[in-house]
């Protein structure tokens, strides 16, 4: 067994590998760029080596610097994580040339399966069902359009060396092929230093289901069940689960056996994933093979009870698998939600900056535990513009799918993040969506259910009443504490009132708060009379930002933040700004005018912090609705900004190459 390994990655996956290595008694070496000098993986590793500037092309993607770090520290092996150099055969070979083990597959398997064009050719030759398409290298936009016509619309334009949703576009007509081809090549070049793309038929109403395999290279190749990864946005997975609610036992076995056959065809060794597209009739087609650990591997670990990182390390050290296919059983259900620094209310635009508060839900680390958090950030750390905006992966396990979903809902309610925008509200909306709960999933789920984007989460009347009760009960406790301040004139200490008004927006909800042993009873005045009294019980202490307890016997987790003279309650993905006022103050609040936001419709504003890659117009130019105006790059993704109406460009406020802040003016219309 190795005594020291280097992790050629960053963020949550580096921390994940360190956790297993430490349990195995193996020393770890972290590498870091200038932007990651204070990152969590650097702190947790036994040693850390700086490898270059912030851009990944000058640090994490430079194989020579990774090898130099191995030689300097005496690391005997490298775990590549996912992304970066994890599927680069040349990197694996360079390590071998220096006598350093690669914790992953061998060079021939990476070369054969890591390249998506070549892997499809190999799969076809092996008799594996594949999606129709053109697998050659495409020279230019004209050839891409011709190929798309031949394959038939819609088509998928995809980077050969891609992954993580980068370099992927769906095109429904020739204009979209031209735009998609250009953007896919640019993203592929930026993210993978390889701008080759291919085109294949886009199967509508598809499910994305993948098979986890594990092979020791000594005769044993296993499949560890499947993962349903159909909930995606822009081809980036958002929710994953194991097993799939769609597969039956026969289809699972057929997909697993086909995945194993493909792995054996390339003498595969280590953990890997064979991805399939599955149609509504459970026909499945080979999509690609990822010759590395997947982001979503924890859901498989939760239901199978294996540590895949440990298995990868043992296989790389020459050990044989101690398991056989009959030993693999699935226990319960697991769901994973990817928590990103992005603003779902602004089209999921990435958010950067310092994390002012980071309080994940409590973990249960027992075998088949119920809650797990994989993260690479910490309170006070920063989300950089140079890398993927993932904050954490939240994984829950239950006896069945409904149980795992219920635990995920509560865990999301307890996940506190401040300082950067995040997508927890959207994840909560997904967990509560009737179609998701029913398991009727496709890769088009988000586009179909949120066709105009995400507009936030609303609460039903029953939930609103519970939140009103929580706000009233907690405010009364705060007022009682405040009334105990020292130095008051004797005899003039005023009693704490029982009647209050909980104000949501400009709607007043009169309430009466009565104290009972160990809690409070909140009576909400309804429009047609007095509403029911709600019993509120909690161990909440003043100053805590997370309220947990029961309202009328129903368990509730609510985040409470001070918001000026009021509070912001967060529950179920909804944020509810409230004020708890005296009846007299509520009357005066009704008289206050509403301040309207300024009209910024004459400006094209940067929707995110990023780099202005190009400007497509000049001052005085006449523009049409839908015309491309600018391209902003952020988090390694290109974002094309288009005109939403006809007009004339009056003034350019930013130049190509400028670093833009969110809402910074790029140009102004006449």
Residue 317's alpha-carbon distances to 269, 423, 478, 502, in angstroms, are 12, 39, 59, 63
What lies within 8 Å, CB to CB, of 570 at 6+ separation is 413, 558, 559, 560, 561, 576
**CA 429, CA 456: separation in Å to the nearest integer?**
8
Closest-CA residue to 191 (of 15, 14, 36, 55): 55
CB distance 91 to 105 below 8 Å: no
Q: Is the peptide bond before 154 cis (omega within 30 degrees of 0)?
A: yes
Q: Is 416 a catalytic residue?
A: no
Per residue, what are the HEC states of 448-489?
Answer: HHCCCCCCCCCCCHHHHHHHHHHHHHHHHHHHHHHCCCCCCC
Phi, psi at 660, each rounded to 5°:
-105, 140
* Angle of helix 116-125 versus helix 249-265 axis, rounded to 10: 110
| Three-state DSSP class for residue 168 | strand
Q: Percentage helix, strand, coil, to 5, in the chain?
A: 30, 35, 40
CB distance 201 to 132 below 8 Å: yes
Given the residues 228, 241, 275, 288, the one annotated as active site: 288
**CA 609, CA 612: separation in Å to the nearest integer?**
10
| Sheet of 284-290, strands arranged across | 284-290, 269-278, 207-216, 221-233, 236-242, 333-340, 390-398, 371-375
Sequential DSSP letters for 577-590 = EEEEE-HHHHHHHT
Query: If phi over 0 gives left and psi between -120 and 50 gives alpha, with beta otherwise, what is residue 217?
Result: left
- According to DSSP, residue 303 is labeled H
| Three-state DSSP class for residue 282 | coil
CB distance 479 to 492 below 8 Å: no
Q: State the catalytic residues.
A: 288
């Amino acid at each position: 067994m190795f005594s020291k390994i280097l992790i050629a990655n960053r963020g949550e996956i580096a921390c994940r590998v360190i956790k297993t290595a430490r349990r195995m008694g193996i020393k770890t070496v972290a590498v870091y760029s200038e932007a990651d000098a204070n990152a969590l993986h650097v702190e947790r590793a036994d040693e850390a080596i700086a490898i270059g500037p912030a851009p990944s092309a000058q640090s994490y993607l430079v194989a020579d610097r990774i090898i130099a770090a191995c030689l300097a520290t005496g690391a005997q092996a490298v775990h590549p994580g996912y992304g970066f150099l994890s599927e680069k055969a040349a990197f694996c070979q360079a390590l071998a040339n220096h006598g350093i083990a690669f914790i992953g597959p061998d060079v021939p398997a990476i070369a054969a399966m890591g390249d998506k064009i070549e892997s499809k050719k190999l799969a076809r030759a092996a008799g594996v069902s594949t999606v129709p398409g053109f697998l050659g290298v495409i020279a230019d936009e004209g050839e891409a359009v011709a190929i798309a016509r031949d394959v038939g619309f819609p088509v998928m334009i995809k980077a050969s060396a891609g992954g993580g949703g980068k370099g992927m576009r769906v095109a429904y007509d020739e204009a979209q092929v031209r735009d998609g081809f250009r953007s896919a090549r640019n993203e592929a070049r930026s993210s993978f230093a390889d701008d080759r793309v291919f085109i294949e038929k886009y199967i509508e109403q598809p499910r994305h289901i993948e098979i986890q395999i594990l092979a020791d290279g000594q005769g044993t190749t296993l499949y560890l069940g499947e993962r349903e990864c159909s909930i995606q946005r822009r081809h980036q997975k958002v929710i994953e689960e194991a097993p799939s609610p769609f597969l039956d036992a026969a289809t699972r076995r057929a997909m697993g056996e086909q995945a194993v056959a493909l792995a054996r065809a390339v003498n595969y060794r280590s953990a890997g994933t064979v991805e399939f597209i599955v149609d509504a009739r459970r026909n499945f087609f080979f999509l690609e093979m990822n010759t590395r650990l997947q982001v979503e591997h924890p859901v498989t670990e939760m239901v199978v009870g294996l540590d895949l990182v440990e298995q990868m390390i043992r296989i790389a050290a020459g050990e044989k698998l101690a398991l056989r296919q009959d030993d693999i059983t699935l226990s319960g259900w697991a769901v994973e939600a990817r928590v990103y620094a992005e603003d779902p209310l602004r089209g999921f635009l990435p958010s950067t900056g310092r994390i002012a508060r980071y309080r994940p839900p409590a973990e249960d680390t027992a075998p088949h535990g119920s809650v797990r958090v994989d993260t690479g950030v910490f309170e006070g750390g920063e989300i950089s513009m140079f890398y993927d905006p993932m904050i954490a992966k939240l994984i829950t396990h239950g006896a069945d799918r409904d149980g795992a979903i219920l635990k995920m809902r509560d865990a999301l309610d307890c996940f506190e993040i401040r300082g950067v925008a995040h997508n927890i509200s959207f994840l909560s909306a997904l967990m509560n969506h009737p179609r998701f709960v029913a398991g009727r999933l496709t890769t088009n789920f988000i586009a179909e259910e949120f066709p105009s984007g995400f507009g936030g989460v609303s609460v039903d009347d029953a939930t609103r009443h519970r939140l009103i009760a929580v706000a009233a009960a907690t405010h009364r406790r705060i007022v009682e504490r405040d009334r105990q301040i020292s130095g008051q004139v004797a005899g003039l200490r005023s009693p704490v009132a029982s009647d209050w008004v909980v104000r949501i927006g400009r709607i007043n909800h009169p309430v009466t708060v009565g104290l009972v042993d160990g809690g409070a009873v909140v009576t909400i005045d309804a429009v047609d009379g007095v509403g029911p009294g709600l019993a509120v019980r909690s161990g909440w202490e003043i100053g805590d930002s997370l309220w947990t307890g029961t309202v009328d016997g129903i368990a509730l987790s609510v985040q409470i933040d001070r918001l000026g003279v009021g509070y912001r309650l967060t529950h179920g993905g909804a944020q509810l700004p409230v004020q708890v006022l005296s009846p007299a103050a509520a009357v005066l609040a009704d008289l206050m005018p509403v301040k309207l936001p300024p009209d910024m419709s004459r400006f094209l504003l940067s929707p995110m912090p990023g780099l202005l890659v190009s400007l497509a117009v000049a001052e005085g130019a006449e523009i049409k609705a839908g015309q491309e105006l600018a391209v902003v790059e952020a988090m390694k993704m290109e974002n094309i900004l288009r005109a939403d109406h006809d007009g004339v460009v009056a003034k350019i406020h930013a130049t190509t190459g400028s670093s833009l802040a969110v809402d910074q003016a790029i140009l102004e219309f006449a």
